[in-house]
A and B are shown apart, each in its own frame.
Chain A
Amino acid sequence: MQVVIPILLSVLIIAGPAAAETIYVSNEQDNTVAVVEGASMSLSTAINVGRRPRGMALSVDRKLLFVAVGDDNRIDIVDLAKRQVTGQLPSGVDPEFFVVHPDGKRLFVANENDNLVSVVDIASAKVIGTVDVGVEPEGMAVSADGHYVACTSETTSMVHLIDAGTLDLVDNLLVDTRPRAASFSPDGKQLWVSSEIRGTVTVFDTTSRAEAGKVQFEVPGIRREGVQAVGIEMTRDGATAYVALGPANRIAEVDTRTLAVRRLYLVGQRPWHVALSDDQKRLVSANGNSGDISFIDLEDEAVVKSVPVGRGPWGVVIGP
């Protein structure tokens, strides 16, 4: 018994953080943000937001959830404690995806129809600047030190590097066709950009801005055109990246050092984005066509459950 109690306690402590987490999923066609309890992996409620919610991000203090509602040309602010929209931010036309700057004060928003990146001041709820980028900007990323913001433009097939301080366009790098998502490595030395049509992820060295490598994906039994790379999520230690493969219905686990695909996880249809839990032990994918999210236990290396959340799940964020 003396041995059992400490073991039980440690199990409870380990299970603690995972049990407390909540998963937020933007349902593009339902105009809702689904709230899923992390512990029970069950849908608890849906928060009504503006039309066509896609990109989402937590505020730096993790108390608010920003939701880009593209068809209403704004960003809704959801109070996570109240589970309702408590405010709005301007965003420029048709916001699809955005990032919260680490300073906690600004949002960088991709305006899909205006070929712009808008910078929004959260406190004053005003657009304080814009940066011209390529056609149909979509993916956004910010480096951990807050120095750079990256934006991909779908039609131009480029990734644009923006100085977050001066809002100058620093560089434009060509990538594979129809880039979707971008992600800086935690140390800021690499920038990963996914290409939807080619089904690749191009890795750039942020210092030399040269291509440092490319990740190729192959899914047994699925033709090459069916393998499209979209959302990217990197672990905090930078050792592993997870890439959603769209119509291939898989999430790829990539070794960031060798750029080799370690394994593929079968999830629902057309996963768009993925999110890692705070303890880095669980990954959740938002599956656009099957209307559900899939939970992947990264320690067991297995997909454990898929939970229906609504029509057209697109973005996914794991919060407190």
Chain B
Amino acid sequence: MKRRHALRALTGILRREMLRTLRQRGRLLSAIIRPLVWLAIFAAGFRSVLGLSITPPYQTYVLYEVYVVPGLAAMMLLFHAMASSLAMVYDREMGSMRLLLTAPLPRWYLLAARLLASVIVSLPLVYLFLLIARYWDVRPPVLGYLAMFPALVLSGLMLGAFGLLVSSISTQMENFAGVMNFVIFPTFFASTALYPIWRLAEAGPVLAMIAAWNPFSSAVELIRFALYLRFDPVSALVVLACLVGFFLAAVVGYDPGRGLWSRRGGEG
């Protein structure tokens, strides 16, 4: 793998991903509307739900709107990762990804490039959402926006790798409702995106335990801490470990020779 060759492939993949995202106006619009609906309507009803406690990294009492914004930013990454993994299935079946995988570059590299490209195109929307959230008085320190960039990239990569894994082992991922029900909703709801652990513990210790072990919670907390200029090492480690784990599994899954792809009855 020559460096120039690899770089050209990366920019090519990035460009393709960007063009495709820009062309999908509906998806772009829904990606930004979705968290805003949560913030403006859902969060409004829970405004004072956190008025009784101080949850790190916050140093004082916060309104629910303030609490939920990092979770919604992570939700944007999650939805984007899943939509992107679905596109991957389509690509794989209709040809462009298949063609890409025949390029004289390692498979892991192509998948990683694809993953990185997908995360990068999703970030401007996340920042747009955070900017709009200032209207709801969600005003983290300005440097926090910068500090959260690596957290967003790392979390985005982890969720993207998870999406790759899901798409590599599933036969019927064309069905978005299935992904919503079985992947996105449980991941999102059983996490610290919407409620802090102590609030979930009130509902039941099992739910709190699931949320604590949910890697999506770690992504949310990593982003939340970074936005308030703090580093959460445990979350960072969990996200990094999950990224490596999911990615390796996805690479195996994408290997037509020995992965699950071939076992699915030569449909690929």
Contact = CB atoms under 8 A, between A and B. Distances in A.
B59 interface: yes
B41 interface: no
A23 interface: no
A299 to B, nearest CB: 13
Given A221-B47, A249-B51, A268 B139 contact: no
A266 to B, nearest CB: 5
Interface of B: 47-48, 51-52, 54, 59-63, 139
A245 to B, nearest CB: 13
A59 interface: no
A267 B59 CA distance: 11
Contacts of A220: 47
A303 B60 contact: yes
Given A221-B47, A266-B61, A267-B60, A306 B52 contact: no
Contacts of A269: 51-52
Nearest to A266: B61
20 contacts: A220-B47, A221-B47, A221-B48, A222-B48, A249-B51, A249-B61, A266-B60, A266-B63, A267-B61, A268-B61, A269-B51, A295-B60, A302-B139, A303-B60, A303-B61, A304-B59, A305-B59, A305-B60, A306-B54, A306-B61
Given A249-B51, A266-B63, 12 more contacts: A222-B48, A249-B61, A266-B51, A266-B61, A267-B61, A269-B52, A290-B52, A294-B60, A295-B60, A303-B60, A303-B61, A305-B59
A309 B143 CA distance: 30
Nearest to A222: B48
Nearest to B66: A266
Q: Sort chain A's interface into a size bin.
A: 10 to 19
B56 to A, nearest CB: 12
Contacts of B63: 266
A304 B59 CA distance: 7
Nearest to A295: B60
Contacts of A267: 60-61
A303 B60 CA distance: 7
Nearest to B61: A266
B47 to A, nearest CB: 5
A14 B31 CA distance: 44
Nearest to A308: B54
B188 to A, nearest CB: 25
Nearest to B54: A306
Contacts of B61: 249, 266-268, 290, 294, 303, 306
Contacts of B48: 221-222
Interface in A222-263: 222, 249
A294 B58 CA distance: 13
Interface in A278-320: 290, 294-295, 302-306
B145 to A, nearest CB: 15
A304 B66 CA distance: 13
B134 to A, nearest CB: 12
B62 A266 contact: yes
A102 B59 CA distance: 37
A269 B51 CA distance: 8
A220 B139 CA distance: 19
Nearest to B50: A266
Interface string A115-128: 00000000000000
Nearest to B59: A305
A171 B250 CA distance: 83
A151 B59 CA distance: 37
Contacts of A266: 51, 60-63
A292 to B, nearest CB: 8
Which of A220, A221, A222, A295 neighbours the largest number of chain B CB atoms within 10 Å of its CB?
A: A221
B47 A306 contact: no
Shortest Cβ-Cβ A-B pairs, 5 listed: A306-B60, A305-B59, A303-B60, A221-B47, A266-B61
A249 B52 CA distance: 10
A222 B47 CA distance: 10
Interface in A146-172: none
Contacts of B47: 220-221
A287 to B, nearest CB: 9
A220 B51 CA distance: 13
A309 to B, nearest CB: 14
Contacts of A249: 51, 61
Contacts of B54: 306
A294 B60 CA distance: 7
Contacts of B139: 302
Contacts of A268: 60-61
